[in-house]
């Protein structure tokens, strides 16, 4: 140990040759990453150990390791707060809204990308402008209320059927598909609908995957809109369910931690498989400037 420490000090204070400097840089880099990593791993670790111990043990020693890890909290949270229902609701909202959004955007994006109308660029501009306009929160609420869709599933889903950034990504990707392909398909007698669905759609799969993931994560994680629009507990998505659960079981952190992990699991699984698309979606267009 002392010897190691001495080597470390030697590296940090030692000579000024190029190799000593690069080793020093490396040690400092790992030191920096290590300290930072503590603040990313420890909250996660805390969440996991808390979820595995009984409430009584947690109250005595919140940060310690569980003496007899058990999954009882998960079962309890599962029953106490109707989490299966919340998870199903979340899945239903996310899937329905994403599918409708993707299909409807495809048919908006294609004519814009191909310049079918005189005003196609104006439509695209309107999508860009929306990114800079005031938030639509209040009038949106009045609209849903007056349509009689307040506190209903369709009303809630309606809020997630648009995504200007997603639309812009799809339009730009379609532009990269050569027009010759359209011509060839038209000559072969394909109709518009069939062409877009069976030929264009598979070709722009990377863009679709990116936008789908981006949009779906946004819906899954949304917590403000369910607070505004859904008062019936049967309609709660998991995020809202969790906030309410935390309000009711305030200090039962083992239960809350178990519930948080249940909300987290689907996102983590998705992240492992789709990391590439998630990152490209979140950084889309950022670097080209």
Partner 1 sequence: MRIMRKNYLFGSGGRWQRLTPIFLLLPGVLLYFLIALGPSIATSVYSFTDASGLKGAPVNWVGFDNYKEFLFQGMASRDNIAATLRTLQFSALVTFIQFTLGLIMAVVLNQNLRGRTFFRTLFFLPVILGVVIQGLMWKLFLLPRGGPMATIFGWLGIQSEFLGGLPSEAFMWVIVVQIWANVGITMVIFLSGMQTISEELYEAARIDGASNWQLFRHVTWPQLTPAINTNFLLNIVGSLQAWQLFYVLLGYKNGTQVLGYLVFAQGFGQTGSSTGFRQGFAAAASIVLFFLVLIIGFAANKVVSWREQRYM
Show contacts with partner 1 in window 243-282 (CB under 8 A): 243, 246, 253, 256-257, 260, 263-264, 267, 271, 275, 278-279, 282
Stretch that binds partner 1, among 65-73, 79-87, 126-134, 198-206 (CB under 8 A): 126-134
- Residue among 72 and 123 whose Cβ is closer to partner 1: 123
> Binding of partner 1 at residue 178 (CB under 8 A)?
no
> Binding of partner 1 at residue 110 (CB under 8 A)?
yes
Distance CA 216, CA 213 (A): 5
The residue from 17, 19, 35, 40 that contacts partner 1 (CB under 8 A) is: 40
- Residue among 88 and 122 whose Cβ is closer to partner 1: 122
Q: Are 167 and 109 in contact (CB under 8 A)?
A: yes
- Count other C-beta atoms under 10 Å from residue 96's C-beta: 17
> Binding of partner 1 at residue 67 (CB under 8 A)?
no
> Binding of partner 1 at residue 80 (CB under 8 A)?
no
> Binding of partner 1 at residue 108 (CB under 8 A)?
yes
For the four alpha carbons of 150, 156, 157 and 162, in that order, the dihedral sign comes to positive
> Binding of partner 1 at residue 118 (CB under 8 A)?
yes
> Binding of partner 1 at residue 12 (CB under 8 A)?
no
Stretch that binds partner 1, among 9-17, 76-84, 85-93, 132-140 (CB under 8 A): 132-140
> Binding of partner 1 at residue 1 (CB under 8 A)?
no
Stretch that binds partner 1, among 68-76, 90-98, 198-206, 224-232 (CB under 8 A): 224-232
CB of 51 to partner 1, least distance (A): 10
The residue from 72, 162, 199, 209 that contacts partner 1 (CB under 8 A) is: 162
Ordered DSSP codes for 205-245:
HHHHHHHHHHHHHHHHH--HHHHHH---GGG--HHHHHHHH
> Binding of partner 1 at residue 191 (CB under 8 A)?
yes
- Residue among 26 and 205 whose Cβ is closer to partner 1: 26
Distance CA 163, CA 154 (A): 17
Buried b (16+ CB within 10 A) or exposed e, 101-120: bbeebbebbbbbbbeeeeeb
What Cα–Cα distance (Å) separates residue 65 from each residue in 40, 69, 73, 187, 219?
Answer: 18, 9, 15, 69, 35
SS3 157: helix
DSSP 196: I
């Amino acid at each position: 140990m002392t010897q190691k420490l001495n080597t470390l000090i030697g590296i940090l204070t030692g000579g000024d040759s190029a190799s000593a400097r690069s080793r020093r840089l490396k040690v400092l880099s790992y030191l920096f990453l290590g300290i930072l990593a503590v603040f990313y791993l420890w909250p996660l670790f805390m969440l996991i150990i808390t979820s595995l111990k009984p409430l009584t043990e947690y109250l005595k020693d919140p940060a310690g390791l569980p003496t007899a890890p058990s999954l009882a909290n998960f079962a309890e949270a599962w029953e106490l707060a109707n989490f299966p229902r919340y998870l199903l609701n979340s899945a239903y909202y996310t899937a329905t809204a994403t599918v409708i959004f993707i299909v409807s955007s495809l048919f908006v994006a294609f004519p814009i990308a191909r310049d079918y109308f005189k005003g196609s660029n104006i439509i695209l501009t309107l999508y860009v402008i929306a990114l800079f306009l005031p938030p639509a929160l209040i009038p949106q609420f009045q609209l849903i209320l007056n349509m009689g869709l307040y506190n209903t599933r369709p009303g809630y889903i309606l809020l997630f059927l648009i995504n200007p950034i997603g639309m812009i990504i799809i339009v730009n990707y379609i532009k990269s598909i050569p027009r010759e392909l359209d011509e060839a398909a038209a000559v072969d007698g394909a109709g518009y609908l069939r062409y877009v669905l069976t030929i264009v759609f598979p070709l722009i799969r990377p863009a679709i995957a990116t936008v789908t993931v981006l949009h779906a994560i946004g819906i899954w994680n949304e917590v403000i809109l369910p607070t505004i629009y859904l008062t019936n507990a049967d309609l709660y998505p998991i995020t809202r369910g969790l906030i309410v659960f935390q309000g009711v079981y305030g200090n039962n952190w083992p239960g809350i931690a178990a519930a948080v992990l249940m909300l987290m699991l689907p996102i983590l699984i998705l992240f492992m498989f789709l990391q590439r698309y998630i990152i490209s979606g979140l950084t889309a267009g950022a670097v080209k400037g």
